[in-house]
Amino acid sequence: MGTVRILFLLFSLYVLLLMDASIAQMPGFISLDCGGSENFTDEIGLNWSPDNYMLRGKIANISVANETRRQYTTLRYFPADNNKYCYRLNVISRTRYLIRATFLYGDFDNNNVYPKFDISFGPTHWAMIVISDANTIESQELIFLATDPTISICLSNATTGQPFISTLELRQFNGSIYFNQYENQFFLSVSARINFGAESDAPVRYPDDPFDRIWQSDSVKKANYLVDVAPGTEKIATRMPIDVSRDERPPEKVMQTAVVGRNGSLTYRLNLDGFPASGWAFSYFAEIEDLGPSDTRKFRLVLPGNSDLSKAVVNIQENAQGKYRLYEPGYYNLSLPFVLSFRFGKTSDSTMGPLLNAMEINKYLRKSDGSADVPTLAALTAAYSSAEWAQEGGDPCLPAPWSWVECSSDPQPSIVSIKLSGKNLSGPIPVEFTKLSGLVALWLDNNSLSGPIPDFSGCPNLKIMHLEDNRLNGDLPSSLADLPNLRELYVQNNLLSGKVPSGLLDKDLVLNYTGNVDLRKGGNGGKHRNIIIGSTVGAVVLLIATITSCILMPKGKKTRKQGKFQPSLTSQKLVSTLGDTAAEAAHYFPLSEIEDATKNFERKIGSGGFGVVYYGRLEDGKEIAVKVLTNDSFQSKREFSNEVSLLSRIHHRNLVQFLGYCQEDGKSILVYEFMHNGTLKEHLYGLLTHGRGINWIKRLEIAEDAAKGIEYLHTGCVPSIIHRDLKTSNILLDKNMRAKVSDFGLSKLAVDGASHVSSIVRGTVGYLDPEYYISQQLTDKSDVYSFGVILLELISGQEAISNESFGMNCRNIVQWAKMHIESGDIQGIIDPRLHDYDIQSMWKIAEKALMCVQAHGSMRPSISEVIKEIQDAITIEKGAETAREGSSDEISRHSAHSSLNLVSLDLVASEHYLSIDDSITRPAAR
Ligand SMILES: *[C@@H]1O[C@H](CO)[C@@H](O)[C@H](O)[C@H]1NC(C)=O
Ligand SMILES: *[C@@H]1O[C@H](CO)[C@@H](O)[C@H](O)[C@H]1NC(C)=O
Ligand SMILES: *[C@@H]1O[C@H](CO)[C@@H](O)[C@H](O)[C@H]1NC(C)=O
Ligand SMILES: *[C@@H]1O[C@H](CO)[C@@H](O)[C@H](O)[C@H]1NC(C)=O
Ligand SMILES: *[C@@H]1O[C@H](CO)[C@@H](O)[C@H](O)[C@H]1NC(C)=O
Ligand SMILES: *[C@@H]1O[C@H](CO)[C@@H](O)[C@H](O)[C@H]1NC(C)=O
Ligand SMILES: *[C@@H]1O[C@H](CO)[C@@H](O)[C@H](O)[C@H]1NC(C)=O
């Protein structure tokens, strides 16, 4: 009986322990519910605790439809001042962690401009948090190797609104996960972590991933704007266990699903936040299909512009040494673009198409060294750990200095000023101050400091010392006289004694030592106490000294702050007239500055629906385009400033950069970067054609650039933006003839979720989507229509509307081109100025253009599909170009006439042509 009972007890204990282990979250997890009030455990088993040790900032409760998770219903926000606000977390040195910060705005401050602020990891700028939707959670993740026992995560004002934070999550890794040779100099900033073939939209995370990484489902397009999925792509899944116990240990659940390319290819295009940059990029594979005895699955990665990478062949089962086992090839250091297109293509001898379970791309983020005086100030603040001023956390100077510190503007800043007046300091003057070699000003007045004045000869730059109103005793050290730059020394009202060193008296210096009962002037030892030196020369010296110090001071204190916070009178005026902060999002140009830059609107460079555009040059030499809006463009100032703050949030290399605005004297003005090569229209038809015009490949590149800009408006902005007025005069060319789209954003935003917005029809005849014109229902397909017209113009060199060119009864390029293309007569529409082109690429674009100008929006392709086609055409054209140039390699044989072959002649099909030396860029198989 006894043994049975004991066994039973042991068994129960065992079960209990097991249960306990399954409930308890991983050690090394910290989940902070910012603004929360008590501990709780969420539905997935994470233990959240409030950030109530954070004494700064304020708490807000928010409510957002469909977001019931408790940690997101509260947040903590901070003033938008010059300070930074830091969370300090304990970590274990030499251990790797994931840190995740999330932000759900929820309109907590009812401001009509979304916040935009900075987050930093210690001294390193981590990211700018840009809120673009009140109900969407923004998230940033960083993988790091801890080098100290604590880390600081700090928020600070960047542009608009108040910095805030919803959660801060720290997750500890195991063993050598994410080990890399760059980890001492770089963090890994998580850009994409995608679970392919996911069974639902929900991300996979804890407890499926014991480290609580978040694996986005590939069916949620918004995550990385995953598009361009190849035909024949199928999702597959298994319930078999997968051996994932190596490398980065992706969760089993993620590895149990995959996509396969039944037609031989897997293709994807996705956005990588923070890129172009160097990144860490790995794919996760496990064979989860049953292959027949004669089946093989071999494939290669194809990255445009990175043909070297395509040499290595993946054979999952062989590489992983078995089925249902992880194989994780990848690159530790790969340059990747913002928009990444990649393809896995089967090798010619493989029977099965490629398979992909998951992938992860992280950006290298260089660690900042931090400011020069970190150890010294750490020792100081440690000694006063309970004082509020000692708890600001993070680096003393970076990215914003502590409130009582000023720093130099060097790349590695040092401390130039300390202001601790009236902070209740007691005990001796901390020796740390004497170690700040860059110190210029020291304010320790109005404290209870006692003991002697230490030796400050380690601070040769000291100019101003305020030690008055303390309880310092002992001598006034003669070493002070040796400080070459000392101009002001205040030691009045202390308990100093002895003689004032003659060196100090002889020095050109403001010195106040009144109120020290036992301190007397040197030399004659007379009864004169309370003397200011040079009393005979008297006021004059004092005056000069004061003046000099006033002139010198700003120089000494020259920190980055100064320029940043210079308020311009006019912008203050504007803010007060608007009465809100909307305008702060964008840079304000005073009218006088614009008048100077444009020499009073001297040179007109264009005009359009919104107004007239002038050339300008700012004082710093930057060239600008100044658009003076026609007066009735905006009904109210409020509307104007809202539009402007929206504009300032749209950034893409293929969109003309918005620099700022001005609204004075009844003028509403927008300032853009100046585009040196004018509009596409001018190059196609205008004076800039130089007889010959731009060649076909250049036209294709311009089309690609413009389409990418449009794609960004459609898919990269939330809510998405419909341009509404695309035309060749709105496509501008920079110095290098790269194209950017202009005149975007000054229109109603597309309503998220709904498929159209109804508004008064706007657009330009010839480019206007007929469906939109009739129904007045605007969709992104209206832009696709206009873009189709632009493609036809690029092919033909004809204007969209013309009275002469198109022959009888036809004034419209669409009708005319359609007629020719559909009857197979493409030659009849090709611009006679074009000579070297490949007819196949011309066909591709012509056919796509016709798709774009279909009568019904639903039949038109998305702009992303159009980009794909343009890129294919460019590939064909480049191949053909090589051939024309007479190089006789493998490609040229295929090219000149039947470039159809070229389309399929990618790096996969022709192995012999590729495999020169596999070893050079073999992926790191771990
Ligand atoms: C909340 O949890 C933290 C650790 O997660 C613990 O230190 C603290 O004592 C808990 N507070 C309460 C009130 O239970
Ligand atoms: C937020 O909600 C909690 C609980 O309902 C309440 O105690 C607290 O006062 C609220 N805080 C603010 C700032 O409204
Ligand atoms: C909120 O949830 C409802 C029902 O689940 C859904 O119809 C709606 O689209 C969701 N709204 C948002 C903004 O996610
Ligand atoms: C926040 O930073 C922006 C940009 O530097 C600045 O214009 C603004 O005045 C700052 N806000 C405050 C309250 O200092
Ligand atoms: C972490 O490592 C330890 C020891 O190597 C191992 O027992 C444990 O299972 C690992 N944890 C996870 C989540 O892999
Ligand atoms: C993909 O393969 C399927 C069947 O194998 C075929 O019906 C389909 O046309 C193919 N699609 C493409 C684009 O090749
Ligand atoms: C010197 O300090 C005393 C006491 O604070 C003050 O009354 C006096 O005006 C000061 N003298 C000068 C010249 O600043």
Query: Which tokens belong to 764?
Result: 């330009």
Give the C-alpha distances (Å, rounded to integers) separating 557 from 15, 181, 439, 490. 66, 39, 10, 19
Count CB-CB contacts under 10 A for residue 642: 18
pLDDT at 836: 84
Better-predicted residue by pLDDT, 676 or 549: 676
Percent of the chain with pLDDT over 90: 51
What is the CA(171)–ligand 5 centre distance, in A? 14
For the chain, what is the radius of gyration of the CA atoms? 34
pLDDT score of 464 more than 90: yes
Which of 228, 263, 267 for a ligand 6 pocket mutation test, highest count of atoms within 8 Å of Cβ?
263
Residue nearest to atom 13 of ligand 2 (CA): 60
User: Which-ligand-closest: CA of 587?
Assistant: 4
pLDDT at 344: 96
With a 6 Å cutoff on the Cβ, whether 473 touches ligand 1 is no
- Average pLDDT, rounded, for the chain: 81
Closest ligand 4 atom to residue 80 Cα is 13
What is the CA(69)–ligand 3 centre distance, in A? 15
Query: At 17, is the pLDDT very low, low, confident or very high (cuts 50, 70, 90)?
Result: very low
* CB contact set of 9 (below 8 Å; sequence gap of 6+): none
Which of 111, 113, 159, 648 for a ligand 4 pocket mutation test, highest count of atoms within 8 Å of Cβ?
159
- Quick check: 610 and 587 in contact, CB under 8 A? no
- The full DSSP string for 507-525 is SS-EEE-TT-TEEEESSS-
CATH code for the part of the protein at 374-547: 3.80.10.10
With a 6 Å cutoff on the Cβ, whether 75 touches ligand 2 is no
What is the CA(49)–ligand 1 centre distance, in A? 7
* 230-247 pLDDT, tens digit each: 999 999 999 999 999 888
What is the CA(70)–ligand 2 centre distance, in A? 13
Better-predicted residue by pLDDT, 534 or 739: 739
How far apart CA 550 and CA 215 sit, in angstroms, is 58
Residue 925 has phi, psi (to 5 degrees) of: -90, 125
* 508-517 pLDDT, tens digit each: 899 999 999 8
Place of tokens 């109120």: 515
Chain centroid to Cα 259, Å, comes to 30
Element spanning 6, H or E: helix 2-23
With a 6 Å cutoff on the Cβ, whether 52 touches ligand 1 is no
How far apart CA 666 and CA 390 sit, in angstroms, is 50
- The full DSSP string for 127-144 is EEEE---TTSEEEEEEEE
pLDDT at 42: 94
Element spanning 739, H or E: strand 739-741
What is the CA(835)–ligand 5 centre distance, in A? 65
Q: Verify whether residue 42 is a known catalytic residue.
A: no
What is the CA(262)–ligand 6 centre distance, in A? 8
- Quick check: 315 and 296 in contact, CB under 8 A? yes
Residue nearest to atom 11 of ligand 1 (CA): 39
- Quick check: 83 and 126 in contact, CB under 8 A? no
- Quick check: 744 and 713 in contact, CB under 8 A? yes
CA-based nearest residue to 711, from 743, 733, 741, 731? 741
Residue nearest to atom 3 of ligand 3 (CA): 66
Question: Is 382 buried (19+), middle (13-18) or exposed (0-12) by CB count in 10 A?
Answer: exposed
With a 6 Å cutoff on the Cβ, whether 210 touches ligand 5 is yes
User: Which-ligand-closest: CA of 252?
Assistant: 5
pLDDT at 585: 59
Place of tokens 């012999």: 912
CATH code for the part of the protein at 25-174: 2.60.120.260
Query: At 808, is the pLDDT very low, low, confident or very high (cuts 50, 70, 90)?
Result: low
User: What value does the mean pLDDT take over residues 367-372?
Assistant: 92
CATH architecture for residues 190-366: Sandwich (2.60)
* 64-81 pLDDT, tens digit each: 988 999 999 999 999 999
Chain centroid to Cα 126, Å, comes to 9
CATH code for the part of the protein at 575-673: 3.30.200.20
Which of 514, 519, 541 for a ligand 7 pocket mutation test, highest count of atoms within 8 Å of Cβ?
514
- Quick check: 706 and 714 in contact, CB under 8 A? no
Residue nearest to atom 6 of ligand 2 (CA): 61
pLDDT score of 271 more than 90: no
With a 6 Å cutoff on the Cβ, whether 812 touches ligand 1 is no
Give the C-alpha distances (Å, rounded to integers) separating 321 from 259, 285, 318, 327, 351. 21, 12, 5, 9, 19
How far apart CA 411 and CA 280 sit, in angstroms, is 27
Question: What is the 8-class DSSP label of residue 712?
Answer: I
Residue nearest to atom 3 of ligand 5 (CA): 174
With a 6 Å cutoff on the Cβ, whether 156 touches ligand 4 is no
pLDDT score of 751 more than 80: no
Query: At 833, is the pLDDT very low, low, confident or very high (cuts 50, 70, 90)?
Result: confident
Chain centroid to Cα 149, Å, comes to 28
* 612-649 pLDDT, tens digit each: 899 999 998 889 999 888 765 555 566 676 677 777 77
What is the CA(124)–ligand 4 centre distance, in A? 20
Within 13 A of 180's CA, how many CA atoms are on the CB side? 22
pLDDT score of 909 more than 70: no
Query: At 692, is the pLDDT very low, low, confident or very high (cuts 50, 70, 90)?
Result: low
Closest ligand 6 atom to residue 232 Cα is 1
pLDDT at 837: 87
CA dihedral 879, 883, 889, 892 (to 10 degrees): 70
Question: Helices 780-796 and 696-711, interaxial angle, to 10°?
Answer: 170
* CB contact set of 8 (below 8 Å; sequence gap of 6+): none
Q: Is 688 helix (H, G, I), strand (E, B) or coil?
A: helix
Listed in order, the ranges of the chain carrying CATH 2.60.120.430 are 190-366
Fold assignment, 680-880: Transferase(Phosphotransferase); domain 1 (1.10.510)
Residue nearest to atom 10 of ligand 2 (CA): 61
Q: Is 117 helix (H, G, I), strand (E, B) or coil?
A: strand
Better-predicted residue by pLDDT, 254 or 269: 254
Give the C-alpha distances (Å, rounded to integers) separating 831 from 696, 746, 795, 834, 890. 10, 33, 6, 6, 30
- Quick check: 696 and 841 in contact, CB under 8 A? yes
Query: At 878, is the pLDDT very low, low, confident or very high (cuts 50, 70, 90)?
Result: confident
User: Which-ligand-closest: CA of 466?
Assistant: 7
How far apart CA 493 and CA 792 sit, in angstroms, is 85
Residue 151 has phi, psi (to 5 degrees) of: -125, 155
With a 6 Å cutoff on the Cβ, whether 232 touches ligand 6 is yes
Residue nearest to atom 7 of ligand 7 (CA): 514
Within 13 A of 499's CA, how many CA atoms are on the CB side? 10
* 140-181 pLDDT, tens digit each: 999 999 998 999 999 998 888 899 999 999 999 988 899 988
CA dihedral 476, 482, 486, 488 (to 10 degrees): 20
Better-predicted residue by pLDDT, 420 or 8: 420
How far apart CA 428 and CA 418 sit, in angstroms, is 16
* 554-576 pLDDT, tens digit each: 333 333 333 333 333 333 333 33
How far apart CA 582 and CA 700 sit, in angstroms, is 39
Closest ligand 7 atom to residue 512 Cα is 1
β-pairing, 464-466 vs 441-443, is: parallel
What is the CA(649)–ligand 4 centre distance, in A? 16
User: Which-ligand-closest: CA of 232?
Assistant: 6
What is the CA(42)–ligand 1 centre distance, in A? 15
pLDDT at 574: 30
With a 6 Å cutoff on the Cβ, whether 25 touches ligand 1 is no
Of the residues 118, 209, 212, 725, which is catalytic? 725
Residue 884 has phi, psi (to 5 degrees) of: -60, -35
- Quick check: 71 and 47 in contact, CB under 8 A? no
User: Which-ligand-closest: CA of 38?
Assistant: 1
pLDDT at 428: 95
Q: Where are the beta strands (DSSP E) in 297-455?
A: 299-302, 313-314, 330-336, 339-346, 355-356, 358-366, 405-407, 415-419, 426-428, 441-443, 448-451
pLDDT score of 911 more than 80: no
With a 6 Å cutoff on the Cβ, whether 494 touches ligand 7 is no
pLDDT at 633: 53
Closest ligand 1 atom to residue 38 Cα is 13
User: Maximum distance among all alpha carbons in the chain?
Assistant: 114
The mean-pLDDT minimum among 19-23, 346-350, 446-450, 696-700 falls in 19-23
Listed in order, the ranges of the chain carrying CATH 3.80.10.10 are 374-547
With a 6 Å cutoff on the Cβ, whether 90 touches ligand 1 is no
pLDDT score of 360 more than 50: yes
Q: Is 627 annotated as a binding residue?
A: yes
With a 6 Å cutoff on the Cβ, whether 609 touches ligand 5 is no
CA-based nearest residue to 413, from 440, 434, 384? 440
User: What value does the mean pLDDT take over residues 258-285?
Assistant: 93
Question: Is 375 buried (19+), middle (13-18) or exposed (0-12) by CB count in 10 A?
Answer: exposed
* 571-614 pLDDT, tens digit each: 333 333 333 333 445 788 999 999 999 999 999 888 765 678 99
Residue nearest to atom 1 of ligand 2 (CA): 61
pLDDT score of 506 more than 50: yes
What is the CA(192)–ligand 6 centre distance, in A? 29
Chain centroid to Cα 627, Å, comes to 28
User: What value does the mean pLDDT take over residues 29-54?
Assistant: 94
Listed in order, the ranges of the chain carrying CATH 3.30.200.20 are 575-673
Place of tokens 């064979």: 287
CA-based nearest residue to 75, from 121, 138, 159? 138
Query: At 185, is the pLDDT very low, low, confident or very high (cuts 50, 70, 90)?
Result: very high
pLDDT score of 912 more than 60: no
Closest ligand 6 atom to residue 231 Cα is 13
pLDDT at 300: 93
